[in-house]
Amino acid sequence: AQSVTQLGSHVSVSEGALVLLRCNYSSSVPPYLFWYVQYPNQGLQLLLKYTSAATLVKGINGFEAEFKKSETSFHLTKPSAHMSDAAEYFCAVRTDSSYKLIFGSGTRLLVRP
Amino acid sequence: EPEVTQTPSHQVTQMGQEVILRCVPISNHLYFYWYRQILGQKVEFLVSFYNNEISEKSEIFDDQFSVERPDGSNFTLKIRSTKLEDSAMYFCASSDGPVGYTFGSGTRLTVV
């Protein structure tokens, strides 16, 4: 069965600092992986997705993620945090059965002025 | 850019009442889903729908839940007799296949 694990339920960074949100996956087949962002009381917005093409995936708002098969990881990074990046971030893996997504438990990013 | 539309955005209902949550998926998508997010928790899969039938459902999706695609455009989730623990944000999503996923903005269901 496929799954994702997000390390750290809360991450706090200073404005302008590097953002690193961790996601590890478990999958017996090449995975399709996603990162979503959720702002308070809003829906899920796709940041980026890995579909077995380039291992470094660039997304919206300056975020990117690198697929590392040897580490079974798909960590999300942004070089310089902005106050508007404060939100909940979810990693997800697409399963082979019905193409449904399995979400991680989420990481809340706090950005300090 | 095409969107998945969900209505209503917020619904308050009394315990024991039936509710229907509505979704209009992207027109050329073939796969349809409902997910649930209890406040402060992660997003959980409820059900997937393909070729006019349920293709997979989770343990959460018990006999109180049902889905329909009544007219080829709408996709509905019905909860027959709501419980307090059904209070959550419900997301509809549609997909054209393996990776073309689009989520709606959600319906917040409050059961009182």
Residues 9-68 of A with CB under 8 A from B: 32, 34, 36, 41-44, 46, 49, 51
Radius of gyration of chain A (CA): 13
Peptide bond into B8 cis (omega under 30): yes
Q: What is the pLDDT of residues A53-75, one digit of tens each?
A: 789 999 999 999 999 999 999 99
* Chain A CA closest to residue B88: A41
DSSP helix/strand/coil, A27: coil
Express each pLDDT in B30-80 by its tens digit: 999 999 999 988 999 999 999 889 999 999 999 999 999 988 789 999 999
- Rounded CA-CA distance A103/A66 in Å is 18
Q: Which among B43, B99, B103 has the least Cβ separation from residue A49?
A: B99
pLDDT in tens, B86-105: 999 999 999 988 777 899 99
Residue positions counted in chain A: 113
A43–B106 C-beta distance less than 8 A: yes
User: Sorting pLDDT into bands at 50, 70 and 90, what band is A107?
Assistant: very high
Rounded Cα gap, residues B25 and B94, in angstroms: 6
What does the block give as tokens for A40? 């308070």
The answer to whether the CB atoms of B91 and A44 lie below 8 A apart is yes
Of B42, B93, B105, the CB nearest to A90: B42
Query: Distance between CA atoms of A92 and A51, rounded to whole angstroms?
Result: 12
* Mutation target vs A (from B42, B48, B57, B96; most A CBs, 10 A cutoff): B42
C-beta atoms of A100 and B33 within 8 A: yes
Q: Which chain B residue is nearest to residue A52, measuring alpha carbons?
A: B99
Answer yes or no: are the C-beta atoms of B79 and B34 closer than 8 Å. Answer: no
